[in-house]
Amino acid sequence: MKYLSILLCIVYLSYIHSYVFPTVPKCKLTDSVCLKSSFQKALPFFLDGIPELGIEKMDPLLIEEKEYEIGGLKFLLKDTKMTGMKTLIFDKVSFDLQNKIVNYKYHVATSSMIGKYEAGGKILLLPIQGNGLFTLE
């Protein structure tokens, strides 16, 4: 997710420039417990968007177009609205200082998606083709 990656970058910047999020505690990059807490406390800033930083609102998250390929089927999702990011919980956050990589695990308690789809491909030898509206809960 593009916006989640932006969130992670901004939280890292808040480590360097704590004035970006005055209520988010500054952590050592080796303190995973503190980092997890800071990521969670920074999340509401991103959910509402930060116009001065060019960050759009994340809940609902609007996805113009996304393509997936699963087991011989291709799916194209368009004009998709995803809700539920407000229930995102960070389970683990750590930095790999040597390789400069942020590692994180999270889960979303409840979410839904509404949009348009196009699908095509084969299951076994049967051709599948379809399009229309979809709802995922």
* Better-scored residue on pLDDT, 43 or 105: 105
Dihedral sign computed on CA atoms, order 126, 128, 134, 137 = positive
Domains of the chain, with CATH numbers? 2-136 (3.15.10.30)
Say what angle helices 32-47 and 2-16 make with each other, to 10 degrees: 120
Pairing of strands 61-70, 73-83: antiparallel
H or E segment and range at residue 9: helix 2-16
The answer to whether the CB of 120 falls within 8 A of the CB of 76 is no
Give tens-digit pLDDT for 63-75: 999 999 988 899 9
Percentage of residues in the chain with pLDDT exceeding 70?
84
The answer to whether the CB of 106 falls within 8 A of the CB of 89 is yes
19 pLDDT band, cuts 50/70/90, is very low
20 pLDDT band, cuts 50/70/90, is low
With a cut of 70, say whether residue 8 has pLDDT above it: no
The answer to whether the CB of 17 falls within 8 A of the CB of 70 is no
The pLDDT, as a whole number, for residue 12 is 55
Give tens-digit pLDDT for 84-119: 999 999 999 998 989 988 899 999 999 999 999 999
